[in-house]
């Protein structure tokens, strides 16, 4: 009996233990794990390590410019007894005043031989350039070369001490959200370090920025004086050159940081630096086309680009240039250059800016809905023709309106001359555009010259009437027009699209 009781007790105890273990396992599976807060000390220490890697390569740049201005004209009085005195000693004009202007910026050493990269606007028109290093040593610098299109410049010092060069990184590898540090001399405060992240990559079309510029955007604090300083990644590599900020006037009318700064990518800066070192200037390739600036995705789709991306060839220019020799024509849509996808004119400029003149490149373009491929040899952009144009086309008496919502006029000898056409080529001149009409919705403006509708030539007003008489609701229209561009000072060609209501 005792033995039986013991065996029964062991069995029951085992069953209870298994039950408790199972209950604990179930409870463990459903109970959330505690959240651990990362130590700020670890991140702070890493920032310090990165800053120490780059600080010796960062410099403060101060410039001085002597500006000579003629004093404002004196008020002259009849029978002025001092008039002869002033003219005898100063000439008929008043003395010219000389004043000194100073500016501050940043830069960083890219070669231990004394080569420094900075912004072109930091050293623009400077009579003297003084570079101050982390050690406190100061040296006079000279400009090796500068490129205003990308706002980059290379200067050089003859330093006695051994210089530390910054290491350049791959800006194409940066992603939105990556940590970065900005180093420079904001408001003249040397060796200032600020931290932030990459807010965006590939920023373009930034107001006055040229099409050759595209930026890394960061929220790391950048202020006046940071220009030309490095933006570095967490490996201590320079991945950008701090160039501009989006700001508003604050106290004293001086703009301050709003958390939106822009840096030129290091890959672009490297290309510009190498050319400035070799040639003293930047040579950019060109394929010899005029690109349509104003374009919509709908127009691109109408020309055969299914995704609404690409660059429309306004015309090959010059007529004997690389594009013309390769067979490109007006209305072709370029979608790829040397394996680089072309979404817009900024992409086209960006890719061509890295192509040296004389290089053979491969283009893919769409014509009549078909993808085609051609090769051409890039020419030097400086060799592109620059043709001075006359004044804007003059108005003629309008004809009666047509269904498009325009007041059309046949091409006259005077208009043909102004548009650089022969009367045989024809075209329909637009005198007025009715608000909310088909033409207005398509973007046609007064003084445009309509050359084609749906790829059918419109040589006269009667041609337009005949074409528009067959329009049906919902039909898409593709217009080819010529326009006087006041900004460019020349006649441009545009493809525009509209829909019949």
Report the C-alpha gap between 206 and 303 in whole angstroms: 28
Q: Is 121 a catalytic residue?
A: yes
Token pair recorded at residue 253: 């009318």
- Quote the strand ranges of 148-260, DSSP E: 152-157, 179-184, 192-203, 215-218, 230-232, 238-245
Q: Pick the catalytic residue: 185, 227, 353, 407?
A: 227
Q: Is 28 a catalytic residue?
A: no
Closest CA to 282 of 363, 177, 382, 365: 382
Q: Pick the catalytic residue: 106, 121, 266, 463?
A: 121
Q: Pick the catalytic residue: 147, 151, 347, 463?
A: 151
Report the C-alpha gap between 297 and 93 in whole angstroms: 59
Q: Is 46 a catalytic residue?
A: no
| Largest distance between two CA atoms of the chain | 147
Neighbours of 428 (CB within 10 A): 26
Residue-by-residue DSSP string for 29-79 = HHSPPPPPPPPHHHHHHHHHHHHHHHGGGEEEEEEEEEEEEEPPPPPP-TT
The 8 Å CB, 24+ separation contacts for 45-52 are 46/234, 47/181, 47/193, 47/195, 49/236, 50/181, 50/232, 50/234, 50/235, 50/236, 51/181, 51/183, 51/193
Cis peptide before 318 (omega within 30 of 0): yes
Are 392 and 414 spatial neighbours (Cβ–Cβ below 8 Å)? Answer: no
Question: Which residues belong to the active site?
Answer: 121, 151, 227
């Amino acid at each position: 009996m005792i033995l039986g009781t013991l065996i029964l007790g062991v069995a029951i105890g085992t069953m209870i233990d298994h039950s408790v273990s199972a209950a604990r396992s179930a409870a463990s599976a459903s109970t959330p794990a505690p959240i651990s807060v990362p130590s700020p000390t670890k991140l702070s220490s890493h920032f310090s390590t990165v800053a120490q890697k780059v600080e010796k390569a960062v410099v403060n740049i101060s410039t001085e410019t002597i500006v000579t201005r003629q004093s404002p004209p004196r008020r002259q009085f009849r029978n002025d007894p001092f008039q002869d005195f002033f003219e005898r000693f100063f000439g008929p004009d008043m003395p010219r005043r000389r004043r000194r202007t100073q500016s501050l910026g940043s830069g960083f050493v890219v070669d231990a031989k004394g080569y420094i990269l900075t912004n072109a606007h930091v050293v623009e028109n400077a009579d003297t350039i003084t570079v101050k290093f982390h050690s406190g040593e100061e040296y006079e610098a000279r400009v090796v070369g500068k490129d205003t299109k990308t706002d980059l410049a290379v200067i050089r010092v003859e330093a006695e001490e051994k210089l530390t060069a910054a290491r350049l990184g791959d800006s194409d590898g940066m992603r939105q959200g990556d940590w970065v540090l900005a180093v420079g001399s904001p408001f003249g405060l040397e060796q200032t370090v600020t931290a932030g992240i990459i807010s965006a990559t590939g920023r373009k079309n930034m107001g006055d920025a040229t099409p050759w510029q595209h930026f890394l955007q960061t929220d790391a604090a950048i202020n006046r004086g940071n220009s030309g300083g490095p933006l570095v990644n967490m490996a201590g590599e320079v991945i950008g050159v701090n160039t501009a900020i989006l700001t508003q006037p604050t106290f004293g009318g001086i703009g301050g940081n709003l958390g939106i700064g822009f840096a030129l990518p290091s890959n672009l800066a490297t290309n510009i630096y190498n050319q400035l070192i070799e040639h003293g200037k930047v040579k950019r390739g060109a394929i010899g086309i005029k690109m349509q600036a104003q374009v919509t995705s709908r127009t691109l789709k109408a020309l055969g680009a299914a995704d609404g991306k690409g660059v429309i060839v306004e015309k090959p220019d010059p007529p004997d240039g690389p594009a013309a020799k390769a067979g490109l024509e007006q209305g072709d849509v370029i979608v790829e250059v040397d394996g680089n996808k072309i979404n817009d004119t900024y992409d086209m400029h960006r890719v061509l800016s890295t192509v040296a003149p004389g290089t053979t490149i491969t283009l893919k373009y769409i014509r009549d809905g078909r993808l085609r491929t051609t090769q051409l040899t890039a020419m030097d952009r400086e060799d592109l023709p620059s043709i001075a144009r006359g004044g804007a086309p003059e108005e003629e008496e309008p004809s009666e309106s047509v269904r498009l919502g325009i007041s059309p006029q046949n091409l006259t000898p005077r208009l043909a001359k102004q548009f650089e056409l022969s009367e045989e080529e024809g075209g329909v001149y637009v005198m007025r555009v009715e608000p909310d009409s088909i033409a207005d919705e398509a973007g046609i403006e007064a003084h445009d010259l309509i050359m084609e509708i749906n790829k059918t030539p419109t040589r006269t007003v009667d041609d337009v009437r005949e074409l528009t008489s067959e329009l049906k609701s919902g039909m898409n229209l593709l217009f080819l027009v010529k326009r006087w561009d006041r900004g460019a000072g020349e006649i441009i060609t545009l493809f525009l699209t509209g829909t019949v209501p």
